[in-house]
Structure formats: C-alpha cells, structure tokens
C-alpha cells in the first residue's frame, strides 16, 4: 500500500478547482523538488483538446493563479502533463485512458468532478481495469447532499476501492494553521489540563467570508451554507478542537478520535440555530447586490448560519460551541476562540480590581496567529485602588517562521495522496456522522418551514444570531 505514485490521473482537469488550486499546487511541488522525476500527470475532462492545447491551458492557469516566485521552470512541469478527453457518463473513452495511463501499479486518481459523475466514472475506471491492485482515489467535495446520497457515493466507491485506498478531501485539513491546532494542543503541556469543562466556559468557531455567490450559482443554491461549509470544514475544526489526544499522529489514531466527537454531537433544537440570507449592502467599501439579485430569482437558501452546539461527553459537559459562518460578512476571518472561566476567587476584589477570564484566540486565516489574553497589573502606585487589565500574549506565525514558504492546502493534500498518507483525509464514518447531524438540522427546518432571516451584506448576519449568543451572556468575537 505504501508506495509513491508515479501516475496521477486528474479528472475535472479543466475545472475551476483544477485551475485555481490543483495545477498550481502540483507546479509548486514540482518547483520545490517534491515530485519524483518519473511522476506523470494524465489530465482528463470532457472538452476535446490535444495535449499541447491542454499544456497551454495549464500555463495560463499557472500564470494567473501561482505567484511567479513559486513557479520554477514551468516548461519542465508542463512536460509531465498529457491530456485525454473523456465523457465520464459513457463507457467509451476509458480504454483509451487506460492505454495512456499504461502501468497502473503506481496510480493515484483524483476526482474533482460533479458528484453526479462519481458513480459512472468509477464504473468506467473499473471496466478499464484502473481500480485494481493498490490504486488510490482522492475525492473532492461535495460527497453527496445528505446522508443517503453520501452513502450511495461511498457504496459506489467501496465497490472498487477499499477504505484504505480512498482519500476524501476536506481542504481545511491541508491548511497549515489547522494542523498547528494539533501542535498547540498536543505538543504543549500547558493547555491540556485546562482544555475541558472545568476551565472552558464556551468555544466559538467563526468562518466568515466576504465573497458572495461567485460563479457557483447552481451548486450553491442547491447547497446553502450549512451543507457547503458547516457539514465539512466547520465540523472538522470542531472535531480537532474537541477530540481526545490521539495516541499518535497516524491516520487511524487521529480519525478514531475525531469520529467520537462527531458522534457525540447533540442533535440540535430549533431555537439553537439561526439562518440568514444577505441583501444588498457594502462589503470592504464596495456596494454589492443581494443574494436574490445575484441569483436572478427568489430563493430560501441560507447564506449564513449561527448555531449553539454541544458535544455530549465528559470533557465538554455543559460547554456550548457557538459556530458561525456566512457569505458577504464584513471581513474574511476564520478563527477559534476558547473562552476560559473566571478565576474561582479574586484576592484583588478588596482593592477594587476586577478580573476578566482568560481567552485564547487561534487565528486560522487570513492572520495566522495565536493570542492568549492574560490579566496583568497596570503599573502604578495604586493609591486609588489596584488596577488590572487584560494584555495579549501574541504569536504571529509568519513572524515566528519567517523563512518558511506558505503553502497552498492542496500542495500537502496532493502530496499525501501521491505518497499514500491518509492522516489528513476524512474517513467514511466521519463523513456519515457529519451528515447525520446536518440532516437532523435540515429536518427541523423543513418541519417548521423555516426561512432565512435577511441581513445586509457587510454586517455580521441577522440580529437573531447576536441574540443567540447574548441570551447566554456571550458576545461573538468580532474585533
Ligand atoms: C469551499 C466552499 O469548500 O470552501 C466555498 O465550497 C468556500 O463556498 C470555500 O468559499 C472557502 O475556502 P477557504 O479556503 O477560502 O476558506
């Protein structure tokens, strides 16, 4: 099983993800010498194109999406690429593909196609003999739109590939700062003793975006914020924050612990979720249209979700996890806030000083930093009373590691696929636990005919989202 692939077969090679992420990541890996010299990349999509036309296409994508200083000798990279046009819905074409791939003993496949094409593609690959032996497959989201459809996809894939050959992508797991969360928790002794309900009052996870629909009209309107971001990325972040220490940084150990958290998520109640849809407004100083206008029709799809979740286990008993995600919010920020409890007794109270509880903010993007607020004494003789103030202990990751290249999440994930390391890929039981929890929420919405509340683009969502936290005395961390 543990071989380094010498063939990478890329489905959906002309798509948006391929242009923006996959080709640039592969080129950057090539430039930095991470790809074995014999690795060939067979690109495929429906469009009729010759290999040299595809190389032109790839060059244009690299010039657009990969910074010049990361491109290296592009011609050498482009020489690795061959193109074969395949209509994934018909069995023809796979034989030609198999001939182009040649020896499949070192093959890794990456499917970045519409989910409806997964099944026919896998059947085609199987008939052409391209799923045999140790061949690995990487699957890009969306893996279904609910538990049933995700099980259907998983079943279809399982007919041709055993679970240890399936690499389900959640690109958040490829982000350096997300992995740093594990280092923070499990490479330091300080946090683990207080990382539980005895010391943590609540946790917030925010993934805020300034973008709107972009060009993904059809996909997004069928999906909505809950399925697009919460089901995958946000639940993975939650699992990493809440999981027990795994015994090692190995695929089975890490994924066993994550799935326990996902299964311990308490089914939500109706009043614990708020949904919203943006109206016209201004984001980062620019006027933007409302969702309906961008879409060109009325819709009940949510572009914002805020929720209060619970992980029902000993460690997190009674600790709310506030999750918030939306499009067209005032700024792009992904962060995790761990709010600690108050000290049990203040020795300074008699001197008029007030203390505030500690707070840890883990910035994932765009700022990569870790900030711990601690109480400190304000200097002075304090004749009118002693004064205390929270001061931040700040670690800006780019400053701490100045000479290190910041990599695209897909660089790591593609390399791990090529080398066969599943640690940062999502296992079937995780995906299914995620869908089960999400389906329950969607069921509540359907039962109660819930419609998203309006919010102006450039605001932090509907006021009900603020109220959701404030009724517990909690303020979202917006500064
Ligand atoms: C994708 C979603 O999975 O993640 C998009 O489909 C979203 O809607 C994107 O914009 C966000 O990714 P990142 O890496 O920019 O935070």
pLDDT band at 184 (very low <50, low <70, confident <90, very high): very high
Residue with CA nearest ligand 1 atom 8: 228
In the chain, where does the domain assigned CATH 3.30.360.10 lie? 175-407+427-470
Q: Specify whether 233 is catalytic.
A: yes
Which pLDDT does position 153 carry in this prediction?
93
Cβ(477)–Cβ(337) below 8 Å:
yes
Indicate the pTM of the whole model.
0.96
Task: Summarize pLDDT for 410-440 with one digit per residue, the tens.
Answer: 999 999 999 999 999 999 999 999 999 999 9
Structure tokens at 447: 């039962």
Residue 228, ligand 1, Cβ within 6 A: yes
- Cα separation of 79 and 71, whole Å? 14
Rounded average pLDDT over 372-398: 92
Buried (b) or exposed (e) across 299-335, using 16+ Cβ within 10 A?
A: bebbbbbbbbbbbeeebbeebbbbbbbbbbbbeebbb
Residue 209, ligand 1, Cβ within 6 A: yes
What is the 180 CA–ligand 1 centroid distance (Å)?
A: 19
Residue with CA nearest ligand 1 atom 9: 229
| SS3 readout for 30-55 | HHCCCCCCCCEEEEEECCCCCHHHHH
The fold of the 175-407+427-470 domain, in CATH, is Dihydrodipicolinate Reductase; domain 2 (3.30.360)
Cβ(436)–Cβ(150) below 8 Å:
no
At the second CATH level, the architecture of 7-140 is 3-Layer(aba) Sandwich (3.40)
| pLDDT above 90 for 379 | yes
Residue with CA nearest ligand 1 atom 6: 228
Residue 140, ligand 1, Cβ within 6 A: no
Phi then psi dihedrals of residue 304, to 5 deg? -145, 140
Task: Summarize pLDDT for 30-65 with one digit per residue, the tens.
Answer: 999 999 999 999 999 999 999 999 999 999 999 999
Rounded average pLDDT over 107-123: 92
In the chain, where does the domain assigned CATH 3.40.50.720 lie? 7-140
Which of 142, 233, 302, 426 has most ligand 1 atoms within 8 Å of CB, for mutation? Answer: 233
- Cα separation of 234 and 434, whole Å? 10
Candidate list 30, 171, 202, 233, residue with the active-site label: 233
Phi then psi dihedrals of residue 348, to 5 deg? -95, -10
Which of 65, 115, 139, 171 has most ligand 1 atoms within 8 Å of CB, for mutation? Answer: 171
pLDDT band at 383 (very low <50, low <70, confident <90, very high): confident
Q: How would DSSP label each residue in 338-403?
A: EEEPPPS--TTGGGT------EEEEEEESS-EEEEEEEEEPSS--TT---EEEEEEEEEHHHHTTT
- Cα separation of 416 and 406, whole Å? 17
Residue 431 neighbours by CB distance under 10 Å: 26
- % of the chain residues with pLDDT over 70: 100
- Cα separation of 125 and 447, whole Å? 41
- CA neighbor of 314 nearest in space, from 373, 242, 414, 409: 242
Task: Summarize pLDDT for 327-356 with one digit per residue, the tens.
Answer: 999 999 999 999 999 999 999 999 999 999
Which of 213, 223, 228 has most ligand 1 atoms within 8 Å of CB, for mutation? Answer: 228
Phi then psi dihedrals of residue 186, to 5 deg? -115, 5
Cβ(331)–Cβ(210) below 8 Å:
yes
pLDDT band at 479 (very low <50, low <70, confident <90, very high): low
């Amino acid at each position: 099983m543990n071989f380094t692939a010498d063939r990478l077969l890329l489905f959906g090679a002309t798509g948006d993800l391929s242009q923006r992420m996959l080709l640039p990541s592969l080129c950057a890996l090539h430039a930095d010498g991470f790809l074995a010299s014999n690795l060939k990349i067979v690109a495929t999509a429906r469009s009729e194109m010759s290999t040299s036309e595809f190389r032109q296409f790839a060059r244009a994508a690299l010039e657009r999406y990969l910074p010049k200083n990361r491109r290296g000798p592009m011609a050498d990279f482009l020489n690795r690429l061959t193109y074969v046009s395949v209509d994934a819905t018909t069995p023809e074409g796979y034989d030609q593909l198999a001939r182009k791939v040649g020896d499949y003993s070192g093959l890794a496949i990456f499917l970045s196609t519409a989910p409806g094409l997964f099944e026919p593609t896998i059947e085609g690959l199987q008939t052409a003999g391209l799923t045999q032996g140790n061949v690995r497959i990487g699957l890009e989201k969306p893996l279904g739109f609910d538990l049933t459809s995700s099980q259907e996809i998983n079943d279809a894939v399982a007919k041709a590939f055993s679970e240890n050959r399936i690499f389900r992508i959640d690109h958040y797991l490829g982000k350096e700062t997300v992995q740093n969360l594990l280092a923070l928790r499990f490479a330091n002794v300080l946090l683990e003793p207080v990382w539980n309900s005895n010391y943590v009052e609540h946790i917030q996870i925010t993934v805020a975006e300034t973008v709107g629909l972009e060009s993904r009209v059809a996909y997004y309107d069928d999906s909505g914020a809950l399925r697009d971001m919460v089901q995958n990325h946000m639940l993975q972040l939650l699992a990493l924050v809440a999981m027990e220490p795994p015994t090692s940084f190995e695929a089975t150990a890490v994924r066993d612990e994550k799935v326990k958290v996902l299964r311990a998520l308490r089914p939500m109640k109706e009043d614990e979720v708020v949904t919203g849809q943006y109206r016209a407004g201004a984001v980062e100083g620019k006027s933007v249209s409302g969702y309906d206008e961008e879409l060109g029709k009325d819709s009940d799809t949510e572009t914002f979700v805020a929720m209060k979740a619970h992980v029902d286990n000993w460690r997190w008993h009674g600790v709310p996890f506030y999750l918030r995600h939306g499009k067209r919010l005032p700024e792009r920020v992904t962060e995790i806030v761990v709010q600690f409890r108050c000290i049990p007794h203040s020795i300074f109270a008699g001197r008029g000083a007030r203390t505030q509880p500690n707070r840890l903010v883990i910035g994932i993007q765009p700022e990569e930093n870790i900030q711990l607020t601690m109480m400190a004494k304000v200097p002075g003789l304090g004749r009118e009373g002693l004064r205390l103030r929270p001061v931040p202990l700040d670690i800006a990751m780019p400053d701490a590691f100045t000479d290190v290249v910041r990599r695209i999440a897909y660089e790591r994930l593609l390399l791990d696929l090529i080398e066969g390391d599943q640690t940062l890929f999502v296992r079937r039981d995780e995906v299914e636990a995620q869908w089960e929890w999400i389906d329950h929420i969607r069921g509540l919405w359907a039962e109660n005919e819930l419609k998203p509340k309006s919010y102006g683009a450039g605001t932090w969502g509907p006021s009900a989202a603020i109220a959701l936290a404030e009724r517990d005395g909690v303020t979202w961390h917006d500064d």
